[in-house]
Amino acid sequence: MGGARCQEGGSEQESMEGGCSRVDDAHDKIDSEAELAALRKVLIRDVVIQENPGVKLDDVVGLSSAKEMLKNIALIALRFPQLSRSTRSVLLYGPPGSGKTMFAKSLKNEFNPFFAYVQLSELGTNLPPRGNRKSHVREIFKLAQENSPAIIVFDEIDELGSNESKYPGSLDVETEFLYHMDHLPEGKGNVVLIGITNSPWKLRGSLLARMNRRIYFPLPDQSSRESILKASVEDSSQAGSHELSQDDFVELTKITEGYSGSELKILCRDASMEIVRAATQATYFRRVREGEFEKFVPSTSNDENAEELVGGLMSLGASQVLLPSVTRTQFESALKASKRSTSKEDIIRYEQFTTARGFNGA
C-alpha cells in the first residue's frame, strides 16, 4: 500500500490512512531470547484462554442478527478460509454491559480455536518488558498465527486507535497493530480479530476502515429484558425461589427500559441481597419443616408464628437458615438505588453512528 512517509516517536512509518510499514526503534525490540520467552510465557498464562468459558452463544439473549453474522464470519475464516480472505476483522460496539465481551468469548466455546483476550488498557503494564507495548502487540499476533485457527479479542480498542489515547507513543503502537491487521489475509493461519469498544466514534478512521464489519450491540428490548430478569432471578443464589408473577415481570421490564443486560443482572442480585440484609438484622424467626430438618425463616415481631431468638442470625448454623423468597417489594427497594448508565443522548449517538457506518445486531 502507498502512503506518505512520516516521522513519529523516533520511528519512520507510512501514514496510517494509506497503509502501514514500520521500522522498529531499538527500544521497541526485545533484547534477548530470555526476554522473548518470558513475554510469551506470560502471554500464554494471562492472555490466552485455555479452557472454554462457561458461556455459549445461546446464553446471549436477543441479538439474533449479530449471532448469525459473527457466527458466519468465524465459521468461514476459521474453517473455510479459502472461501473468503477479506472479512477477518470485526468491531463490536455499543453501551457498557450490552453483552459484547460475553458474546466474543462465547466463540471460544462455539469453535474451540486458539483464543487470546487482550484488555488494551492493561497492555504494557503487566507484561515483560514493562511498557514495551509494540512488542506485546507483535507477539500476540505471532502467537495467533502460529497456533491458528485463532481468535484475538482486543477489548477497549479505543485505548489504541483513538485521538484521545493517554498513552505515550500510542500512534506507534497503533501503527504496529495496523501493520499486522493488514497482513492477516496474507498469513498462512486462519485468524479472526475482534475489537470491542463502548465509544466507536473515538476511533481514528485508519483503524475503523480496517474493521470489515462493525456490529452494534443495542440495549435489550422489552422482550429481552424480561428474559434476562427471569433468568437472573433464578440464578440469584443468595435467596431461594421468587414470588414474582408474570404481571410483576411485565411491569419490571417497563420500569427498566434503558437498562443494559449487566445492569439488569445487578438489579436482581441487589434484590436478593435485600433478603440477606433483612436476615442479618432479624431477631424473630419462624420455624418450618424442610423434609426431615427444621429450618428458621427470618421474620418480624408482627408475625404471630415467629419467635425471638437471642443472638438473631448469629445464633444459627448456616444449614439451619432458610431465606424467604424474593418478591416485588425487594425489587422496589433495589430500584431506588439503581441507576442506568446509558443516557438517551448516548443511544441517539449510537444509532446515528450505526446508520452511517455500522450494522444493527438486534
Which pLDDT does position 188 carry in this prediction? 58
98 contacts 260 by C-beta, under 8 angstroms: yes
Same domain, 206 and 262: no
Q: Does residue 238 sit within a domain?
A: yes
Identify whether the C-beta of residue 353 lies closer than 8 Å to the C-beta of residue 201: yes
Q: Is residue 347 one of the residues assigned to a domain?
A: no
pLDDT of residue 346: 96
The answer to whether residues 278 and 178 belong to one domain is no
Our count of domains for the chain comes to 2
Residue 346 placed within a domain: no
**CATH number of the domain enclosing 143:** 3.40.50.300
Torsion angle (degrees, nearest 10) of CA 266, 54, 238, 327: 60
pLDDT in tens, 141-191: 999 988 888 999 999 998 886 666 655 557 788 888 999 888 876 555 688
pLDDT of residue 84: 64
Do 168 and 185 belong together in one domain? yes
What pLDDT is attached to residue 298? 94
pTM strictly above 0.85 = no
What phi and psi, each to the nearest 5 degrees, are found at residue 77? Answer: -70, -35
Question: What confidence score (pLDDT) does residue 49 get?
Answer: 83
pLDDT attached to residue 41: 85
Task: For residue 131, give the C-alpha cell.
Answer: 511498557
191 and 251 belong to one structural domain: no
> How confident is the model at residue 262, as a pLDDT?
93
DSSP structural state of residue 160: T
Q: Are strands 284-290 and 293-299 parallel, antiparallel or unpaired?
A: antiparallel
Check whether residue 117 and residue 16 sit in a common domain.
yes
Q: How far apart are CA 343 and CA 106, in angstroms?
A: 28
134 in a structural domain: yes
In this structure, are 33 and 168 located in the same domain? yes
- Residue 215: what pLDDT? 95
- Exposure string for 11-43, b = 16+ CB within 10 A, e = fewer: bebbebeeebebeeeeebebeeeeebeebbeeb
CATH number (domain holding residue 236): 1.10.8.60
Same domain, 184 and 267: no
- The parts of the chain modelled with pLDDT lower than 50 are 1-18, 23, 25-27
Residue 131 lies in a domain: yes
Q: Is residue 191 part of a domain?
A: yes
Residues 49 and 23 in one domain: yes
Query: Looking at the structure, do residues 265 and 285 belong to the same domain, yes or no?
Result: yes
CB neighbour list of residue 142: distance below 8 Å, 6 or more residues apart: none
Q: CB–CB of 284/307 below 8 Å? A: yes
Give the integer Cα–Cα distance in Å for 172 and 266. 39
Asked whether 103 and 60 are in contact (CB, 8 A), the reply is: yes
Say whether both 203 and 239 belong to one domain.
no
pLDDT of residue 15: 42
- Please give the pLDDT value at position 17: 44
Same domain for 155 and 272, yes or no, is: no
**Is 174 exposed, middle or buried, given 0-12, 13-18 or 19+ CB atoms closer than 10 A?**
buried
Residues 209 and 268 in one domain: no
What confidence score (pLDDT) does residue 5 get? 36
- The rounded distance, in Å, linking the Cα atoms of 64 and 170 is 36
The boundaries of the domain holding residue 100 are: 5-219+353-360
